[in-house]
Amino acid sequence: MLYRYLRRAIIALALLVIGCLVVSCNGAMTTAVPSEIIYGLTLPPSGIDPHINASAELGIPLRSVYDTLVYFDPQTGAYVPGLAESWQISGDGLNYTFVLRRDVKFHDGTPFNADAVKSNISRILDPANNSAKAAQLLGPVKTVQVHDVYTVSIILSEPYAPLMDGLSQPYLGMASPQALSTYDASTYQFHQVGTGPYRFVEYVVNDRLVLERNPDYLWGPQVVSNLGVPAVNRIVFRFYPDPPSRALALEGGDAQIMGEIPPADAKRLADSGAARIVPVPAPGQPLQFLINTTRKPTDSLAVRQALLLASDRQAIVQAIFQGYSPIAYGPLASTTEYFDPSVDGLYAPDPVQAVTLFNTSGLTDSNGDGWRDDQGKPVEIVLVVPPWGMAPDVAQLLKSQWENVLKVHIKIKQVASFPMLSDEAKAGEYHLIALNFFGYDPVVLNAFYQSNGVRNWSHIADSALDKLLLSGQQEMDPARRKEIYAQIQRRIMDQAVVLPIRDYVNLNGIAVGVEGLRFDAQGWFPYLTDLALGQ
């Protein structure tokens, strides 16, 4: 009898608790909020301050911590309001005036206004902060002029067509001036404050990054489905640098979303129904190897062309990427604005022509051992690769192809991080080095191919190309920009200073029941506010 009474009491209490989750105990209807989603990231970034650091990895969580002045709608090809409700661009392309929303507050309760815009841009442009990407996205911004509380102008020293694209990226997200003044450049990354649908809660290096929903969020941009408070209360990002561990985490329930699933695992997960695979193309540059034009033998155009012709990219893409990625033939991914389709098919595999071209270098097998030599010393080509994007696997197949066709020794040097890759670039003791950046606007090429470009790791020095690249970033007419960037892509490939491999496609694994995962036009950054957990 007592057992029955206790059992009924427990059931009644349980029903009361459940009822209070759906209908508040004062009678008001509420919605039960799913507690948590674990989102798997790959490489832990060396820093996560969007104004200072440059990795794509940091933008995955921070796209939802920060709002941007504008957003790009890939469906219409137009920029739409974000924190700015309207804007005007002067005829000379030097003055961008924004009228800001009046109802926005930072997560610390301080108001968003024109002074906040000025504080953020000033911080990004401060040389002492050594911005790795955000400052480049601003281009030739000269000053910021505050007209009134909610009107601000960004003034340039010369036209810069990609500015709107830059302003739409999380690297130019608006941070709380109060928080920026409280913490210095080294500590702010642990105490970030934006206006976005999620609040920054915690960052433990190499372990986790935690976000919680902003209960006051009411100003979502029209590019998202959910304009208000997110459905999911808490999102925990954890790092899975070991590629095989990513699929295992999904299968074991340790994560509900996982980026950069290895292609073979993605195919297995999709075939088994263990997870849904969402391939998301990433515009910008493909997985590529920049070719050093100042070091023998790749200082020879014929040798560079021979390397491209001796590369069977179809075999590489099929073997490593399981058909998930298209072959890349030029310096831009095919999903990038103003991609020139005329580069498709360039340098198709031709082993005979590759050998003929390499022979013009004078580097032949003079001692009959089967390998080319230079005055008795074996010819060696050095490839430097980072750990991401399966670049080491690609390098191994290139090694096999080139040694077989060209009879040259290939040395692969793998580094563990972007800083180490930069150190190798500064040392210059390489023939090819893998590096790429992402971005919807083709201005991403400028830093790589201008003579004074900060990432001109091929060491190309071409005055005609410099002029084209400068014109491309200054030209405000879209039709004319398209023509200019077509010329740029063809000229780069004519000089064979880059070996493109494949267009980047981020393979996202999603557990059963997770819905609404969508990404912005940059390909990497999800709109977390649209996430939901199905029944």
My answer on whether 254 and 384 are in the same domain is no
Contact 289, 530 (CB under 8 A): no
Angle at 455 between CA 463 and CA 345, to 5 degrees: 75
Would you say the C-alpha torsion 40, 337, 80, 178 has a positive or negative sign?
Answer: positive
Query: Per residue in 33-55, is it b (16+ CB within 10 Å) or e — as a string?
Result: ebeebbbbbbbbbeebbbbbbbb
Q: What is the pTM of this model?
A: 0.88
Q: How far apart are CA 225 and CA 223, in angstroms?
A: 7
pLDDT at 13: 35
Query: Per residue in 140-159, is it b (16+ CB within 10 Å) or e — as a string?
Result: ebeebeeeeebbbbbebeeb
What does the DSSP 8-state code read for residue 23?
B
For the chain, the maximum distance between any two Cα atoms, rounded to a whole number of angstroms, is 100
Q: How far apart are CA 332 and CA 311, in angstroms?
A: 18
Contact 212, 206 (CB under 8 A): no
My answer on whether 400 and 476 are in the same domain is yes
My answer on whether 14 and 157 are in the same domain is no
My answer on whether 320 and 302 are in the same domain is yes
My answer on whether 398 and 373 are in the same domain is yes
My answer on whether 149 and 190 are in the same domain is yes
Angle at 21 between CA 19 and CA 24, to 5 degrees: 75
The secondary structure element, H or E, covering residue 165 is: helix 163-167
Q: Identify the bridge partners of residue 97 per DSSP, sorted by sequence position.
A: 88, 153
My answer on whether 470 and 329 are in the same domain is yes
pLDDT at 430: 98
My answer on whether 396 and 528 are in the same domain is no
Q: How far apart are CA 436 and CA 425, in angstroms?
A: 13
For 506, the token pair is 């981020």
My answer on whether 341 and 306 are in the same domain is yes
Q: Quickly tell me which residue has 């999102």 as its tokens.
A: 235
Angle at 213 between CA 269 and CA 78, to 5 degrees: 75
Mapping DSSP to helix (H, G, I), strand (E, B) and coil, where does residue 98 land?
Answer: strand
Which residue ranges in the chain fall short of pLDDT 70?
1-34, 535
My answer on whether 81 and 207 are in the same domain is yes
Half-sphere exposure of 306 (CA within 13 A, CB side): 24
Q: Please count the structural domains in the chain.
A: 3
Mapping DSSP to helix (H, G, I), strand (E, B) and coil, where does residue 443 land?
Answer: helix
Listed residue (489, 501, 384, 497) closest to 434, CA to CA: 384
Residue 344, class by beta-carbon neighbours within 10 Å (0-12 exposed, 13-18 middle, 19+ buried)? middle
My answer on whether 263 and 310 are in the same domain is no
- Residue 200: CB atoms within 10 A of its CB come to 24
What's 522's domain CATH number? 3.40.190.10
pLDDT at 34: 52
Contact 521, 74 (CB under 8 A): yes
For 238, the token pair is 């954890």
pLDDT at 45: 85
Q: Which domain range does residue 11 map to?
A: 1-32
My answer on whether 87 and 47 are in the same domain is yes
